[in-house]
Each structure stands twice: as structure tokens, then as C-alpha cells.
Structure 1
């Protein structure tokens, strides 16, 4: 089978495709990945063939992104989905995806939730398609009303057929009930390695602090990391902070011996040893933590993060601290009250076994879903 995978920019959008890409490769399928230039470095490090499309006009994109940061979260999400993913990215990526569907002739197109150009191309060439969840189903459904105005001009009914296509998600049904008629759940089979000792043999609980891969680009990012470190470093724990490629850990200044900072460590390796994750509520981090049975403190900043935080707290697998510091028309910051609230939330979770027990129960439910390979077998034309 020939399978075309399509993603927008950002590893958080691409990573949910990875277990399916790897499963296709392992069973001998022909794979082609089509993505924007921002992902070329990542794709070049992998073994699958890929093609690079175009980016939207940088000035127009920057103007919209600046507006997103000034809006209330729901309004910012609507603007991102309609204008960035829907209008700009679809127009930029459509030529490359049209060419791939026309010349390479895939049997199936798999795209992450907010990549739409591949759906337009697949519909035009009569190719089955399915979408791979990046966020919770409830969050995704909240943006469905935005799709018809941006997709149907490319062909009547495309938005409806997108919503009716198979919806593939890693989240368990008890945490994330889905409104989509053909919802199929799967899990990633990971083989984490033992985490190297960075703390001189200390054995206190390990707290993993991360704001994901994109928050580091915020103008307030260094202050956000420093504030979260101030919150957790006062606890009797070991801390491993990963900053992502936007920030040099040295920019955080001197750190105490029980706090170690690096740009990147394999998430699965850290989660194998972690007792708690403190994060911004990004989908990749939250889903990874829950799959490993690790409770979470969410500090949501933007996009789907508030929704993920509500899922975490509603399921009893963690707590949420919404930033309150800073003017509303600027990038988020954490004030003294936020630092105190993060510290107290972390203390409660570390002291009360119920959080860990519920997280492990969700992890068991996730492991009982289909493997990526089994899921692919249900999608064969």
C-alpha cells in the first residue's frame, strides 16, 4: 500500500503521525511525507522519503500570530484554525500535495487534524483519507464550524466529507469521548531507555518540567521557565527541565544541584522515571505523561492547552494553574501567586497517591487500544 502523510509545521503536529509512519515502514508499505519547510530538518533525520511544500507569506502570517496572542483563548484558536491552518497553510501546501496525489498516486492519505490541503488534493483525485488527532476530540469539534467557509470553495462538500472521514486518536474513550462517527483509537508502542543519572545518585522523586517545543519562541519564555523552576526547585525533588531548541539552558542562569536543564531528552525516557510532569498542557506532553501513568500539573498558555488542562483535572490525574500575571494584550507571564500555586499543586500530587493511581488506570486503558499496525489494517482500501 502507498500511504501519503501530511502535516503542518511544528513537531506537535507531526509527532502523532510518527507511530503510523513507522508502522507503515515496518510492514513494507511505500511512504511519502509532505510537509512545510519548517519540518525539513526533522524529516531529513528520518528514513522515509519526503517532499517540501511552501510556507505562507511570512509578513501576513506574523501579523495574524501577533493578533492571536492578544485575543481570548477561544477567539485565538478560531483565528488560527480559520486564517492560518485553513486559509494560509492550505493555499501554500496545496500545489505540493496536488502533485503528490497526481503523480505518486497514494492508496490512502493520513493527515494531522489541522492539515487541510491534503484533504482537498485527496478529494480531487478520489483517494481515501483519514485524520490523525493532534488534540482532544472536544477541542477539535469546537473548530469544525470554521471548516466549510475555507474548504468548500475548493470543492462543494469537502468540509463535510472531512468530518465524516475516520478520526484516529491516541486518547482513551473515558477521557476523551468523540463525536465523530468513525473514531478509532490506537497507542504508540514505546521502548524507553533508562534515564542517565544527572543528580549524583540522589533518589528523590523526579519532576519533569517542559513547555514543549513552541512556547520557547514566546518573548516571555525565559521568564516562564524561570518561574516554573522557582516553583518546583523548592521541593525535595530532582528536577529535569527541557527547554526546546528556542532557548539555551544557560540563559536561565545558575541552577541548584538538584535541577538539571537540557534542550532535549527523549520524552519516553524521562517519563519512565518521572513522578510528576509540570508542563503547559500541550497535547504531546499530556498524552505522553498519561500513557506512562504519570500525573500532571498543567500551566496552560494558549491553543488547546486550557482544554487539555480541563481533561486532566476532570479525570483526577492532575491539577491546573492558569497564569494570572501580566497584561492581557501581551504574551503570558507567571506572577508570584502563580509560582505559589504551581508549588502547592505539585506538593499535593506528590503527596496523594490517588493522582498516580488514576493516571496508571488511564495508561492501562490506552495500552488496551489497537496498535498502530492493527489500526492501519482497518484503513486499507
Structure 2
């Protein structure tokens, strides 16, 4: 089987795609990845054959980010989904994807659900495709609908097609009702790894808080305010804290780091979750799914994108707490600052003190463990897409 993969940049988008690429390489299928240049080092290290596609220019993205942080959340969602994904990423990625479809002639195309250019290229070249979900199904639905006014310039039937092709999701069904016609759920099989982290806390055995705002927040103008508020919230608590800030973040700009906090640019999520007692995060889907699969109570401090929706999910499922910050209580995306410190601190103390959050998270983790792995799941997906042709060729 020849399988073409594509994703926009960002770990939350690429990592779910990479799970499938890893699984198919191991079983002997032939893969090719088409990704933006920011992912070059990542795919090279994993040894995938790849081609580089375009991405929006720094000038375009810089101008959008400046507007983005001044907008009310609903308007910011339109900018992110319609302008960034529906227009600029689609236009930038489409030429390389069409070239790969035409020259490499894959049997199947599997793509990040926000890489809308993949659905357009697949239709133009008659290649069956499936989308790998990044967020809750309802969030994906909303993003698609906001992007449609730009997407129909390329393909008038793109929305109907993306509703009907297989939608592959890591979210458990109890938390994630789906409007996509063919929703299939799987587990990623990445187990938390215990005893891997170095002793950055001089022998302390205090509970570990894994504190992260993902791979994108650190590159935004609002990053300093977000990180400083989170650091002040955990200062002096009887816990160890591991803060990851993402590649390219200026750690020196964070100011005074509390004694109980260790800062790294990046740590494998499985290593951090293996030792954590709780997670404090922005509510990005990749981080949230890792916390849920590990059965860890979670405090969500949303900044933008799908994070408010994921924060509501955490609250409603009883697996943690949502901290209302400026993103929900005021009129500007990502407005997090000193006023939010007491709320974040209280939420951390509460999830550590009340075992009900961990118990609820444990029930969700058990549901996720019962889902099929990619290896047990992909043959059925391919059978749907290409009429039963499976295995390596």
C-alpha cells in the first residue's frame, strides 16, 4: 500500500499523523509525507521519505497574529479557521500535494483534519482519503464550517466530502459525540513512561505537576503574560513543577523562576505524564488526550483555538477544572495575567486534594484503553477506502 500523509505544522497536528505513519512503516507499507518546512527536522529524524510544501509567509502570519490577540474569541476563531487555515494554508500547501498525488500516485491519502488542501487534492486526483482528527468532533465541525467560504473557491463539495470520509479520532465516545458520518475511534498506544525524568528537584518526592501551554503559545506575543501567571500560581506550593515552554521560547524573559519549578523547552509527553500527579495546561487536544489516557486530573487555562471547548469538556466530565480567564470573561483572546493567578492556584490545590477528579479521569482512561490500536484498526479503514486492498505491496 502506498500511503501519502500530510499535516500542517505544529506538534498537535503532526503527532497524530505520525502515529499512523509509524504504524504503517512497521507493517511494511510505503509512505510519503508532504509537510511544511517547520517539520523538516522532525520528519528527517524519524526517517520518513518526505517533500516540503508551502506555508503562509512570516509577514502574512505576523500581521494576522497582531490582529488575533486583539479580537473577541468568536472573531478570532473566524480569523484562525477561515483566513489562516481555509485560505493561506490551503493555498500554500495545495501545489505540492497535487504534485505528490500526480507523480507518486498513492493508494490512500491520510491527513490532519485541518489540512484542508489534502481533501481538495485527493478529490482532484481520484484518491480515497481519510482525516485524522485533532480536536473534538464538534470543534472540527465548527472549524470546517468557518473555513468553508474560502475552501469552496477550490472545491464546491469539500464540506460534504469531509463529512462523509472516515474521521479518525482519539477522543472517547462518552466525551465526544460526532456529526461526521463515519467516525472511528482508536487509541494511540503511547503509554506513560515512569522513572525516566532526571532528578531536577534534588531528591524531592513531592507530587509532580506537569505544566505546559503546548508548542505554539511560546511563539505568540502573549506568551510572557501566560507563563508568568502560571509560574506565580505554583510558586511555593508543596509540589514539584515541570514547565515546558516549546522550542524558540526565550526562557530568560520569564523572570524569576520559583524554586520548585524546573523549565525545559521540550520533554517527551509520555515521560512527563508517567510521573505527574496532575496536569496544568492550555487545553490543547494533544496534551488533554495524553492526560486523559494517563488518568490524570487536569486544570485547563485556555488561551485560544479549541482550548475553551476542551476546558468545558474537562469541567463537564469531572476530570478536572476549567479556570475562567480573560479569554472567556473579557473581550480579548488569551488575556491571562496577574488577576488569574489566585484562580489557577486554587484550581491546582483543589484537584490535588479531591480524589474525585482522579477517579473520573481513571474511568475515562479505562474507556480509552479499550479502544482498538492503530494496528488493529487500520485494515478496516483501508477496506472502506479502497475496497479491501490491505498490506504492503
* Same fold per superposition (TM over 0.5): yes
Instruction: State the distance in 2 between where 1:330 and 1:187 align.
Output: 32
Report the aligned-residue RMSD.
1.8
What is the aligned counterpart of 2:210 among 184, 208, 213?
208
Tell whether the 8 Å contact from 1:208 to 1:274 is kept in structure 2 after alignment: yes
Instruction: State the distance in 2 between where 1:147 and 1:313 align.
Output: 28
1:226 matched to 2:228? The reply is yes
Instruction: State the distance in 1 between where 2:258 and 2:88 align.
Output: 45
What is the aligned counterpart of 2:347 among 335, 345, 348?
345
1:322 matched to 2:321? The reply is no
Instruction: State the distance in 2 between where 1:112 and 1:288 align.
Output: 18
What is the aligned counterpart of 1:334 among 329, 333, 337?
337
1:287 matched to 2:272? The reply is no
3-state SS of 1:245 partner: coil
| Higher alpha-carbon deviation: 241-250 or 159-168 | 241-250
Q: Deviations over 1:336-369 (max 9, x none)?
A: 3x10011111111100100001111111111111
Instruction: State the distance in 2 between where 1:334 and 1:44 align.
Output: 38
Q: Deviations over 1:165-202 (max 9, x none)?
A: 11001000011111111000111112425222222221
1:368 matched to 2:370? The reply is yes
Tell whether the 8 Å contact from 1:248 to 1:263 is kept in structure 2 after alignment: no
Tell whether the 8 Å contact from 1:147 to 1:159 is kept in structure 2 after alignment: no
Name the CA shift for 1:258/1:149 in 2 (closer, same or farther; >3 Å). closer
Q: Deviations over 1:227-268 (max 9, x none)?
A: 211111221111111111132434334434422111111111
3-state SS of 1:247 partner: coil
Q: Equivalent residue for 1:92?
A: 92
3-state SS of 2:243 partner: strand
What is the aligned counterpart of 2:199 among 197, 200, 222?
197
* 1:67 Cα deviation from its structure 2 partner: 2.2
Q: Equivalent residue for 2:142?
A: 142
Q: Which runs of 5+ in 1 are unaligned?
A: none
What TM-score do you get using the length of structure 1 for normalisation?
Answer: 0.95
Name the CA shift for 1:357/1:44 in 2 (closer, same or farther; >3 Å). same
Tell whether the 8 Å contact from 1:148 to 1:160 is kept in structure 2 after alignment: no
Q: Deviations over 1:110-141 (max 9, x none)?
A: 11111011111110111111111111111111
**Count of matched residue pairs:** 380
| Higher alpha-carbon deviation: 143-152 or 259-268 | 143-152
1:185 matched to 2:180? The reply is no
3-state SS of 2:152 partner: helix
Tell whether the 8 Å contact from 2:187 to 2:373 is kept in structure 1 after alignment: yes
* 1:329 Cα deviation from its structure 2 partner: 5.2
Q: Equivalent residue for 2:391?
A: none
Tell whether the 8 Å contact from 1:218 to 1:331 is kept in structure 2 after alignment: no
Tell whether the 8 Å contact from 1:16 to 1:134 is kept in structure 2 after alignment: yes
